[in-house]
Amino acid sequence: MGKTYEGGVPLAQVVRSGFVEGVHRGSVVVLDAAGEPVAGAGDITSPIFPRSSNKPMQAIGMLRAGLPLSDPADVALVAASHAGEEFHVERVTALLRDAGLTEDALHCPPDLPFGEAAREAVLRAGGGPARVLMNCSGKHAGMVRTCLAAGWPLDGYWRPEHPLQQCLTTTIEEITGERAAAVGVDGCGAPVLAVSLTGLARAFLRMVSAEPGTVERTVADAMRAYPELVGGTQAEDTRLMRGVPGLLAKIGAEGVIAAAIPEVGAVALKIDDGAARARTPVLTSALARLNVRAPILTEYAEPPLLGGGLPVGAIHPTW
């Protein structure tokens, strides 16, 4: 695996009124059901930060370390980048309360909900930023509860040298089949590990292909059973999992998404400029190479551009 991500190739065009006004570059890999690359573009072997697309693997590591969750909905929330809707916040709060903790135990920064409707609801009610509202609060709640179960200190649980993070690093390296090329600080303050897009796609395929009862399959099944907890009512990955049978999907910041379907294959991609608007059109074109089609994919294939409140163009995948 190369040491530096070399950047991608043109994957989507921004077309307004028939005029190409912009281009999104990036990299994408498509694996078949056996985990072999069948298509790709850009740099698919050098490391990138998958950002929140790492969360399902982190959830696997927490469960392996003894995180005591019997409800699959809670497992889905630990792997989530939730929108801060009321049902998200209530469940995160319950995860903490059941362990005798409050949101003060979380290291993720106080924030307003990621989802626009949820954010407006908090502000209308006179509320403000809170740790439990931050989109990674489910992951952090899982982390502190894992520490309690394993007998590890809560202090510094987010630092790379902490036993929890060492455990999660080992898990990610095992599932991706790669050594982490770099350790960074994610937006929530927890570590984020750099792996290649090929390693990321391989990990998602491994999760959906694992035998029932394994920890990998437990996380994949929980996310697919409770997609609203993974993202939110209108989140991309939530709607994709609702609309494509068997699909496991997780978005990440900076234009990343990974997805897999058992006995079909997997996709991982990164849009170089971080634009989320180009993510799903490219994913749709990649899944088409695996003969995966569904109404939700048609909806996401060419997101419209508006002019005066009316559609005047679209984001067109070009790969």
CA distance 77 to 69: 11
**Model confidence band, residue 46 (pLDDT cutoffs 50, 70, 90):** very high
Using a pLDDT cut of 90, give the percent of the chain over it.
97
pLDDT beyond 90 at 3: no
Q: Which of 255, 287, 185 is nearest to 8 (CA)?
A: 255
**Model confidence band, residue 262 (pLDDT cutoffs 50, 70, 90):** very high
List, for residues 179-212, the tens digit of each pLDDT value. 999 999 999 999 999 999 999 999 999 999 999 9
Report the b/e string of 208-218 with b at 16+ CB within 10 A: bbbeeeebbbb
**Percent helix, strand and coil across the chain, each to the nearest 5:** 40, 20, 35
Residue 183 pLDDT:
97
Q: What is the mean pLDDT of the chain?
A: 97
Report the b/e string of 28-37 with b at 16+ CB within 10 A: bbbbbbebee
pLDDT beyond 90 at 105: yes
CA distance 100 to 141: 12
Q: What is the mean pLDDT of residues 133-161?
A: 98
Residue 1 pLDDT:
45
Residue 73 pLDDT:
98
Question: pTM above 0.85?
Answer: yes
Q: What is the mean pLDDT of residues 96-105?
A: 97
Residue 53 pLDDT:
98
Residue 115 pLDDT:
83
Residue 319 pLDDT:
87
Give 25's DSSP letter: E
pLDDT beyond 70 at 2: no
